[in-house]
Amino acid sequence: MNCYIHAIFVIQENNPLILTLMKKYELEDSHKKTIKEICQSFGNKHGELINILHSTQGHFGYLPEAVQNEIALNLNMPLAKIYGVVSFYSFFTMTPKGKYPISVCLGTACFVRGAEKIVEALEEELKIKVGQVTEDGKFSLDCLRCIGACGLAPVIMIGDHVHGRLTPDMIKGILQQYE
Amino acid sequence: METVKITIDNKHLEVPKGTTILQAAKQAGIKIPTLCYMNLPHLSREHKPGSCRVCVVEIKGRKTLAPACVTKCAEGMEVLTHSLRAMNARRTVVELLISDHPKDCLTCPSSGCCELQNLAIIMGIREITSVENAAISTYRKDESPSLIRNMDKCVMCRSCETVCNEIQTVGALSAINRGFMAVVAPAFEQDLKDSPCTFCGQCIAVCPTGALTCVDSTPQVIRALADEKKFVVVQTAPAVRAALGEEFGYAPGTLVTGKMVAALRALGFDKVLDTDFAADLTIMEEGTELLNRISRHLQGDKDVRLPILTSCCPAWVNFFETNYPDMLDVPSTARSPQQMFGPIAKTYLAQKLGIKREDMVVVSIMPCVAKKYECQREEFFVDGNPDVDYSLTTRELARLIKYANIDFNSLEDENYDRFMGESTGAGVIFGVTGGVIEAATRTAYELFTGKELENVDFHELRGLEGIRQATIDFDGTPIHIGIAHTLGNARKLLDGIKSGMYNFHAIEIMACPGGCIGGAGQPLHRGDSSVLEARMKAIYQEDANKVIRKSHENPEIITLYEEFLGKPLSEKSHELLHTCYFCHPRK
């Protein structure tokens, strides 16, 4: 499991995009069927909850309330317990990721070479905080620990692309490459 | 049985294999302090997350200190519970817990019954030097009609979570987030009132600190008592008289009915009346409903819904409304005694006394925190005026008595006022698990068979076992009865009925362990099951002391039907004494 270091998700209640997404996320029968199948593939076992959530997030991209509720119904488990697990592990997210998810490495090497300044530059440029998505849904910003590219420190990943040896002034130009 | 020999603080012990150091120490008369540990022997549940580290002890030959609650005794183990090292470590643990805990003990609702405060007192902690300017969480306060959740005071023992999920199977609370941001909350951090919470309050009964407390209604009652225009009537639930004394130093199980009545009168209530009277009324309505359903069933009516479920417990009502929305027509439509008392007081009694409804204030003294919510339910209002205005817990009443400078212990016994103060033994036993159905049986038997019941004591319905069943011979007709207390057991029973495992005519359910005697509004017993047993004994003693022990023989009940209601299940009864249930499906 990935080791994101930010601990708490900020549920962006004010973000209009998220609001519409959340409201729109009325589970269709096909979604319910998918969740049922995922739960069944793990034998509907309470002990498999993390795997079920992992698999479900893999399918939907995130775990909104309606999806968690559906899992609760399938496993016959308190919804609070499921939310407890979702909120505990930083891997799980209740907000959808942007079209281009940005991950900033805060591992030791990147950290000492100024990764925090990179985070600040990204936050300023995108006008969002870590854990949030831009209003247009294009970028989301997260932090993680070491991606194994310490030689390129400080590094960020945008989707599958790695950008290394960064300085804060390079951020604007890099973001412009993504349409 | 295999045993191991150990020494604790130089005392030699031989204990069964598998015993923890904490249990062994207790046997040896050594009380190791704990915080996150909770033992509920009457529910066969020991909660020991081993997370607070307050119970650490030194074991000779081991590098690290061990938490006594989860470390099992091993052969030859030498344990020191108060070595300098253990004491220092324990002190540090408590100091760290306090470092991010609000220090408003003076104004905290749990002051005086807080286990963290107790530890600080015992250890003589006078200042927190270890962490300066530590961040204290400022989580929003969540106030529901019954419970208040103040997570700044949570020590993450998670006892509430265990009770809510495992004992009650309500599933409203779970630990969420992590690290400093970790709190116990409903899903998506929604308010308790929007969660599946039933307001049973068992979480506040086990909370060691002030993180979970109940709403304080005493200021409103004090104001009402001071208002000369208001005629303030008080009703006392059966279980209160068997526990109130504990707050004044009496041994558990001491009946203080007479002193309680005297204290209420001294407080200034215009009429001191008894919920037991309303319990007798409940039996008339619910018992008749039960007989109707059984008679129709015996005549071959396929549409009749059996078993009939009792509906006296507001937490249980919330529970089935949330979890069994397909069974809303199964429970009896009879209101709880609290909610039967209100409308009769505000109609019949008010008319008799020549008082206007809006000038009468009905206060109830309850062993329960869910009652605070119940009296606020919309269906129990008439033109914006509630049938029951305020509900106080047993603990709140004790505080009010002390606040009003009444020396409870020196009070002479007094009797309830009339009308609505007369009750029978059947009304009294509502306070204990199995009591409602026993009371109903006493009346239903006589109405059904037309014969006099010789022995009113149905011992087969009594006890503290979680699920009980008995068959009562109604003069040749066997009536199958089921009883459950705690909502977890209620769920088991209901699921058993759905799957065809059980076949009952009538079922009694109480949300709290032991019934109302174990309610969350009672003096806290912290898992001491002997307290519950003593209160139960007291209730049955009060029943045995009564001259009249069958609800339908209560002279005031007979008068009420003659003068006002007509007969059970009459149109007037339906209007004033029955209710309907609403679907609150799980979110």
Asked if the Cβ–Cβ distance from A7 to B187 is below 8 Å, we say no
Distances (CA, A) of B505 to A58, A86, B284, B308, B508: 50, 43, 17, 6, 11
- A179 has a pLDDT exceeding 90: no
Domain ranges of chain B: 3-122, 142-214, 286-333+423-577
Q: Quote the minimal CA–CA distance from A19 to chain B in Å.
A: 15
**B286-333+423-577 under CATH 3.40.50.150, yes or no:** no
Of A69, A80, A88, the CB nearest to B177: A88
| CB contact B305 to A (< 8 Å) | no
| Gap between the Cα atoms of B237 and B396, Å rounded | 14
Catalytic-role residue among B203, B207, B312, B375: B312
- Nearest residue to B490 via CA among B278, B362, B330, B367: B330
Beta-carbon contacts of A24 under 8 Å, excluding residues fewer than 6 positions away, are none
Asked if the Cβ–Cβ distance from B178 to A7 is below 8 Å, we say yes
Asked if the Cβ–Cβ distance from A87 to B186 is below 8 Å, we say no
Task: For residues A15-24, give the mean pLDDT.
Answer: 43
Of A69, A81, A87, the CB nearest to B177: A87
Of A7, A8, A80, the CB nearest to B187: A80
B3-122 CATH fold = Ubiquitin-like (UB roll) (3.10.20)
| Gap between the Cα atoms of B481 and B469, Å rounded | 6
Residue A155 near residue A166 (C-beta atoms within 8 A): yes
For an interface test with A, give the residue of B178, B198, B495 to mutate (most A CBs within 10 A): B178
Strand partners, B307: none
| Gap between the Cα atoms of B323 and B81, Å rounded | 46
Q: Quote the minimal CA–CA distance from B69 to chain A in Å.
A: 25
Helix (H, G, I), strand (E, B) or coil at B39: strand
Q: Quote the minimal CA–CA distance from A124 to chain B in Å.
A: 25
| Gap between the Cα atoms of A106 and A145, Å rounded | 5
Question: Exposed/middle/buried for B146, CB within 10 Å: 0-12, 13-18, 19+?
Answer: buried
Helix (H, G, I), strand (E, B) or coil at B571: helix
| CB contact A80 to B (< 8 Å) | yes
Take residue B408 and report the two structure tokens written for it.
């409870």
Cβ-Cβ contacts under 8 Å, A88 against chain B? 175-178
| Gap between the Cα atoms of B277 and B338, Å rounded | 10
Which DSSP category does A68 fall into? Answer: H
Of A69, A80, A87, the CB nearest to B172: A80
Residue A83 near residue A91 (C-beta atoms within 8 A): no
Question: Exposed/middle/buried for B526, CB within 10 Å: 0-12, 13-18, 19+?
Answer: middle
Looking at this predicted complex, what is its ipTM? 0.87
Radius of gyration, CA atoms only, chain B:
25
Cβ-Cβ contacts under 8 Å, B171 against chain A? 77-81
- Nearest residue to B34 via CA among B87, B72, B90: B90
Asked if the Cβ–Cβ distance from A79 to B587 is below 8 Å, we say yes
φ/ψ of A88, rounded to 5, equals -75, -50
| Gap between the Cα atoms of A71 and B543, Å rounded | 49
Q: Is the peptide bond before B307 cis (omega within 30 degrees of 0)?
A: yes
Look-up of token digits 């290394």: A164
Indicate the pLDDT class of residue A3, thresholds 50, 70 and 90.
very low
Residue B392 near residue B365 (C-beta atoms within 8 A): yes
Take residue A36 and report the two structure tokens written for it.
């049922």
Q: Quote the minimal CA–CA distance from B185 to chain A in Å.
A: 7
Residue of A nearest to B170 (CA): A78
Predicted confidence at residue A80, as pLDDT, reads 95
Give all strands of the β-sheet with B11-16 in edge-to-edge order. Answer: B11-16, B3-8, B78-80, B56-59, B66-67
| CB contact B140 to A (< 8 Å) | no
- Nearest residue to B577 via CA among B278, B235, B271: B278
Domains of chain A: 16-88 (no CATH), 100-176 (3.40.30.10)
Catalytic-role residue among B73, B157, B203, B516: B516
Asked if the Cβ–Cβ distance from A80 to B173 is below 8 Å, we say yes
Q: What CA dihedral angle connects B153, B154, B157 and B163, to 10 degrees?
A: 110
Read off the pLDDT of residues A43-90 as tens digits, 9 standing for 90 and up: 999 999 999 999 999 888 899 999 999 999 999 999 999 999 999 987
In the annotation, is B286 catalytic? Answer: yes
Q: Supply the DSSP string of B182-235, one letter for each residue.
A: -EEESGGG--GGGSS-----HHHHH-SSSSEEE---HHHHHHHHH-TT-EEEEE
Secondary structure in 3-state letters for B92-142 = HHHHHHHHCCCCCHHHCCCCCCCHHHHHHHHCCCCCCCCCCCCCCCCCCCE
- A96 has a pLDDT exceeding 90: no
In the annotation, is B72 catalytic? Answer: no
Helix (H, G, I), strand (E, B) or coil at A130: coil
Predicted confidence at residue B545, as pLDDT, reads 93
Residue B72 near residue B48 (C-beta atoms within 8 A): no
In the annotation, is B159 catalytic? Answer: no
HSE, CB side, 13 Å, CA atoms: give it for residue B242. 29
Residue B232 near residue B268 (C-beta atoms within 8 A): yes
* C-alpha B9: how far from chain center: 39
Read off the pLDDT of residues B557-575 as tens digits, 9 standing for 90 and up: 999 999 999 999 999 999 9
Q: Return the H-helix or E-strand segment holding B375.
A: none
Q: Which amino acid is at B279?
A: A
Higher pLDDT, A33 or A14: A33
| Gap between the Cα atoms of A4 and A23, Å rounded | 27
Cβ-Cβ contacts under 8 Å, B185 against chain A? 80
First to last CA, chain B: 48
Beta-carbon contacts of A158 under 8 Å, excluding residues fewer than 6 positions away, are A100, A101, A102, A103, A139, A174, A178
| Gap between the Cα atoms of A76 and B523, Å rounded | 34
Question: Exposed/middle/buried for B78, CB within 10 Å: 0-12, 13-18, 19+?
Answer: middle
- Nearest residue to B8 via CA among B101, B100, B83: B83
Q: Supply the DSSP string of B315-371, one letter for each residue.
A: HHHHHHHHH-GGGTTSB--BPPHHHHHHHHIIIIIHHHHT--GGGEEEEEEES-SHH
Indicate the pLDDT class of residue A7, thresholds 50, 70 and 90.
very low
**A:56-75 residues touching chain B, CB 8 A cutoff:** 65, 68-69, 72
In the annotation, is B358 catalytic? Answer: no
Take residue B543 and report the two structure tokens written for it.
């029943």
Of B174, B181, B587, the CB nearest to A7: B181
Indicate the pLDDT class of residue A12, thresholds 50, 70 and 90.
very low
| CB contact B156 to A (< 8 Å) | no
Give all strands of the β-sheet with A161-163 in edge-to-edge order. Answer: A139-144, A100-105, A156-158, A161-163
| CB contact B188 to A (< 8 Å) | yes
How many beta carbons lie within 10 A of that of residue A68, not counting itself?
22
Which DSSP category does B24 fall into? Answer: H
Predicted confidence at residue B130, as pLDDT, reads 53
| Gap between the Cα atoms of B41 and B512, Å rounded | 15
Please list the ranges in chain B whose pLDDT falls under 70.
129-136, 585-587
| Gap between the Cα atoms of A159 and A161, Å rounded | 6
For an interface test with A, give the residue of B177, B195, B324, B495 to mutate (most A CBs within 10 A): B177
Distances (CA, A) of B170 to B163, B183, B424, B511: 9, 18, 34, 11
Helix (H, G, I), strand (E, B) or coil at A24: helix
Look-up of token digits 């997370």: B51
Residue of A nearest to B184 (CA): A84
Residue B409 near residue B249 (C-beta atoms within 8 A): yes
For the structural domain made of B142-214, what CATH number should be given? 3.30.70.20
Q: Quote the minimal CA–CA distance from A102 to chain B in Å.
A: 23
